[in-house]
Structure 1
């Protein structure tokens, strides 16, 4: 699974290194830190990769939507999280890259272009943090899978054990609460 990303990234880094000049880099991020030709390729290729990711997100939503009609399991929760993830993705990372292309297409140059493109990093940072919030922090299903995958690391194993105990306690408390509400009604 890592072969394609490593080949892509290594190619960009190598190409960027080979075209390096002694120009001062105001802000070191890929659109500004790379030689203009490499930067343009990196931005354009990322828009293509993001479009593929967007299509995959929409496909997943449709698959879960149609499966959800047949099964009434956790499909709604998964769909809700996928929808939130796709909205964050569109309004942060995807729009950030499209805005970088737009600034170049509009003819911005020099300090103005540098200022505008360097501030796009804010949207990318939001995109990176949303995964943790939506998937890991808010979802016990994903959190359990994450901790299970990393349970070979001692701190993750401890967190997994604590989380499984607290999940059992809260599930038991929730069922007792529902039973007491039903009996009082």
Structure 2
């Protein structure tokens, strides 16, 4: 009994995971490899990619309870050494020194906890200034859309929230985006690294 040959599956539109993607190749070829075109993605394809990859937004971890954070500050290695020193002071009947060490531990934990909370609030404030919308081309029309795609591109473009719609153009024309001489030199030095990073990821462009 012979098996019927299986039908080849149609390739999923969009960036291919194993393709040798060169960001410096001609733009029409790059668009084709990325699964887009001059008119951008269709509304249907954009909705599909949004459903598959999710929105391009920072996923914040749930904030730890105040009690757990305080316990963490009281049991880190330096605090444990101080607790041991306080215990030895009490054993040696030097209560004043023991209570002084305990006070230092508690004050240090309180200040560290306060600084962490202030740092978290500062990061949240800065995050509100990041762009949440971008002007994109979709079905040949320009309009403002929420950013899509979850994977970050820190290795190429830093930590700014960039719309993935412009990644292909940034990769092909870095001098137009990075205007200063220093950034142009960095772009030339990092060209091979950028090409490698783009080959590694399948979430490169969304137009």
Mark the structure with the bigger radius of gyration. 2
TM-score over 0.5 (shorter chain): no
Structure (1/2) with the larger helix percentage: 1
Structure (1/2) with the larger strand percentage: 2
The normalised TM-score by structure 1 is 0.30
The normalised TM-score by structure 2 is 0.28
- Higher RCO (C-alpha under 8 Å, 6+ residues apart): 2
